[in-house]
Amino acid sequence: MSRKKVLIIEDDPDVLATLVEIMTLEDFGIDSADNGADGEAFLDIGSYDLLIVDWGLPDTTGIELLKKFRSKGVDTPVLMLT
C-alpha cells in the first residue's frame, strides 16, 4: 500500500511541529509550509491525499489559498484549523 501524502500549512511553529510529528508517527508522507506562498508552491508541484490548512496565515488566508487551489479543479479533502 502506498504512503498517503499530507500537506500541512500552519504558521504557528508549535502547532506545525506537533502535527508533523503525529502524522509522521502514523506513517503519512508530510510536506509542510509556514506561509501561504510556500504552501501554494507545494500545491503547484505535488499532489496530496489531504490538506491541513490554517485559517489565518501571515501572507494570506487559508480560504484564499484554497480558492486558488480549487480554481485549478483539484478536489483534495481539506481540514481547516482555526
What is the overall mean pLDDT for the chain? 95
Stretches where the chain sits below pLDDT 50 are none
CB 52 within 8 A of CB 16: no
pLDDT at 45: 92
Alpha carbon 55 to its chain centroid, in Å, reads 11
pLDDT at 46: 86
- Confidence (pTM): 0.94
Cell of 76: 483534495
